[in-house]
Amino acid sequence: MTGISKAPDDKHLRILSTTDLAGIDISLADVVDTVEGAYRTLHAGESDNPRKLSVKPRDGHSVSYAMLGRDGSRDVVAIKTSYKHGLDKDRDAQHYYTALTLYDDVTGLPLAMMDCSRIGSLRTPAVSALLARELAAPGARSALVIGTGTQGRLALPFLLTTLPELDRLMLSGTHPDGIAAVREQLRVHFPDRDVEIVTDLRSAAGEADVVVATAGPHTPAAVEADWLRPGALSVLVGHGLAPSTLHEADRVIATSEAQMNVTGTDMADADGKLPSVDAEFPPVIAGAAVGRRSPGERIFAYNSGLVVTDIALGHRFAQLAVAQGLGTEVPLWQ
C-alpha cells in the first residue's frame, strides 16, 4: 500500500518542487534501505522495470530518456523522464531536467509529480554503496572517488554508510568548488572524517580497494585495468574508467545488462562490443547469485539507474512530504 491517504474521487496531483524536496530530512541509511528493498522486490518478481527508451539527435547536443515501472511492494506505478541539453558545451551551459510521476495502483489515483534531481543524487551513490558492500574484497579499507559533480559529492558518505570500516578516503578531481562540496558533504554526515585529494591517479587507483568513477564525459581521467590492485572493485557511474577495466575484469556485475548495452557503449571494444555480464545485481543482493567468488579477483560493476529504485525513493519522499504538508495540489484532471 502507498501509505498516502486520498479521498476516493481526489484526482489532484501533488507537485513537489526542488525546494519542497530540499527541505525533507532523510538519513543515508533510510535511502540505502529503500533502494535495497526495491532491488529485492524486483528480484522477487513483484516489480516491473522495462528497458528505458532513449532519443539522441545526430549531433549529440542532447539526450533524453523515458522510464516506466511498477513497484509491487508499494503498489505504485510511475513514469520518469530525463532530458539533458548542451552536452557539447561546458558544464555551466548545460541544462538538465528530470521528473517522476507516481500513481497509486490500488485506487488508480495520481499521487505526486516531483523534480527527480534529488532522488537521483541520492539513489545513485546509494546503489554504488550497495555494490561496494556486496562486491568489495573482504577487509576493504580504502576508497577512491573520481569526479566531484553531483554524483561524486555523496559517494563517500554513502560508502561509509555501507562500509564503515573504510579508513582511507581519496578523491580525484580538478574543480575547486566541486572538491569543496565533496568535503562539505563528508563533514555534514561524518564530521570526524576527511578526504585526501590525490593528483597521481594511477598511484591512487593502485592503492584503492574500491574505485567509484563519477566524472563527467569530458574528464581526462581514465583508470586502466593494469593500474588496479588484485581484488579491486571498480564501479562505473559516469566516466573515469578506461574500457580495459571492463574487458579485462575477472567478473562483471551490472544493475541491468540491458541498460548497460544502451548507455555503456562508450566502454565498447574496437569492434563495438561489450562483454557479457556474469551476474545482474538484483539477484546478487538477494543472495540468489554469486557476486564475488574470491578475494583476489578484480570486479567491474556497472551502475545504471533502474526506475524501480527511483520509484521507491520518490514514493518515500512523497510520504514524507505529505506528512509535512509540502507541495502544491493541482487539479490537472478536473
User: Residue 91: is its pLDDT beyond 80?
Assistant: no
**Helix, strand or coil for residue 213?**
strand
Question: What's the pLDDT band for 120 if we cut at 50, 70, 90?
Answer: very high
Check whether domain 122-305 has CATH 3.40.50.720, yes or no: yes
- The pLDDT tens digits for 168-218 are 999 999 999 999 999 999 999 999 999 999 999 999 999 999 999 999 988
- The pLDDT tens digits for 140-167 are 999 999 999 989 999 999 999 999 999 9
- The pLDDT tens digits for 7-58 are 888 889 999 999 999 999 999 999 999 999 999 999 999 999 998 888 999 9
For residues 77-84, average pLDDT: 96
User: Residue 251: is its pLDDT beyond 80?
Assistant: yes
The amino acid occupying position 266 is D
User: Residue 3: is its pLDDT beyond 80?
Assistant: no
| Strand 328-330 to 13-16 pairing | antiparallel
Number of residues that this document lists for the chain? 334
Nearest to 171 by CA among 155, 191, 150, 189: 155
pTM over 0.85: yes
CATH annotation of 12-119+308-325: 3.30.1780.10
Strands, sheet with 110-115, edge to edge from the N-terminal-most edge strand:
53-55, 62-71, 76-85, 95-104, 110-115, 13-16, 328-330
Can you give the pLDDT at residue 305?
A: 83
Average pLDDT, the chain: 95
Domain boundaries, the chain: 12-119+308-325, 122-305
For residues 301-319, average pLDDT: 95
Can you give the pLDDT at residue 4?
A: 83
H helices present in 190-234, as ranges:
201-207
